[in-house]
Amino acid sequence: MSNFDIIVLGSGPGGYVAAIRASQLGFKTAIIEKENLGGVCLNWGCIPTKALLKSAQVFEYLLHAADYGLKAEGVDKDFNAVVKRSRNVAEGMSKGVQFLMKKNKIEVIKGYGTLKPGKKVSVKSDDGKETEYSANNIIIATGARSRQLPSLPQDGKKIIGYREAMSLDKQPKKMIVVGSGAIGIEFAYFYNAMGTDVTVVEFLPNVVPVEDEEISKQLERSLKKTGIKIMTSSEVTKVDTSGTGVKATVKTSKGEKILEADIVLSAVGIKTNIENIGLENVGIATDRDKILVNDYYQTNIPGYFAIGDVTPGQALAHVASAEGILCVEKIADMHVEPLDYGNIPGCTYCSPEIASVGLTEKQAIEKGYEIKVGKFPFSASGKASASGNKDGFVKVIFDAEYGEWLGCHMIGAGVTDMIAEAVVARKLETTGHEILKAVHPHPTMSEAVMEAVAHAYGEVIHI
């Protein structure tokens, strides 16, 4: 039996990052993966979807070349080539993780891992051979998959999840997207930009329901302007796949509607991969589909840890990575502080993009804060006007008494790259006045942050 200091089960953005940090700290480390290194994020999630979205954005630019004083005739897309580029990007990233494993002298064990008592893992390879490994510490990072609803059973052909959505052989003419979280909205934008007739069905009253209400309403307007149909406060109650396409029965406040499409994309959340990995063999406690952990990701059984989507925190790649590093550093007896889950940025990469951190206006009021709210529209931004991306705005929320930056919400071009300013500022307990007096470069989209803060304090110049 091979013995390690740390074994990581799963090689997604939580697992592989944890393994690298463990190796950096001198631990003899192994990582177990049943598919491709990099997990869902690199192979079927964050990275390949961004490649698809970039192709959609470039296609839109070409179609609107005349808006920039340019001529582009006979512009068309090759859907299969777009998909192939995305898969090539994912493959390249996965190979990058392979390189990092070798560079950091991490042993990669291919196969399906099952936890055993006594800090052991049994790994079954593709040929059926089982090998047992032991470690002083085992980190569970098995991630999650597309959640299935009883009324929307995925068959991988007519009713699909995100995995099939990024590798279809043929572009559908009509698509119904069920769920308007980040995954649903990103695919709705991509397929609509490619020319598919898209309808989004959302159970709650607003699209991207976790976002500030004003952001949600602006996104709905922007999406409708591009031709995407939006049905909120609606629910798909049944689907009929017996014909050539799909007929979906949608319950709305005005009665039932029948929608017809080639494909239905189910984007109603995720289901953690905690079944059949041996949790019950070890006695590891779970609750509502999540592994219970303390602030340093220790489960109820000593020597067994869990990070990423399988734990109660936000199911985001950057959260999993941060948890993996913190977990390993705690194992190494380093001084670490628990992760602040109130200061985690969220991003949606449609067009316009959405990025946010902290409290929404509604949440701040519900918590009893007296607040100052500032907004700055990109229609008043010189850089946005020059680049032809005037949709959207930046919204900031401050505690009126102490100037604490409670929340920041953005919708517009490139805002997913801008939100880090708010994350760092909140981490450093920066006040509104300090942001206001920090000189922002002109002309940039990021000026809108300073201008929004100025608006909150009655000092805005450009609106």
Q: Which residues are tagged catalytic? A: 442
SS (H, E, C) the chain: CEEEEEEEECCCCCHHHHHHHHHHCCCCEEEEECCCCCHHHHHHCHHHHHHHHHHHHHHHHHHCHHHHCCCCCCCCCCHHHHHHHHHHHHHHHHHHHHHHHHHCCCEEEECEEEEECCCEEEEECCCCCEEEEEEEEEEECCCEEECCECCECCCCCCEECHHHHCCCCCCCCEEEEECCCHHHHHHHHHHHHHCCEEEEECCCCCCCCCCCHHHHHHHHHHHHHCCCEEECCCEEEEEECCCCCEEEEEEECCEEEEEEECEEEECCCEEECCCCCCHHHHCCCEECCEECCCCCCECCCCCEEECHHHCCCCCCHHHHHHHHHHHHHHHCCCCCCCCCHHHCCEEECCCCEEEEEECCHHHHHHCCCCEEEEEEEHHHCHHHHHHCCCCCEEEEEEECCCCEEEEEEEEECCHHHHCHHHHHHHHCCCEHHHHHHCCCCCCCCCHHHHHHHHHHCCCCCCC
Q: Are strands 263-266 and 159-160 parallel, antiparallel or unpaired?
A: parallel
Q: Are strands 29-33 and 2-9 parallel, antiparallel or unpaired?
A: parallel
Q: How is residue 188 written in tokens?
A: 């709705």
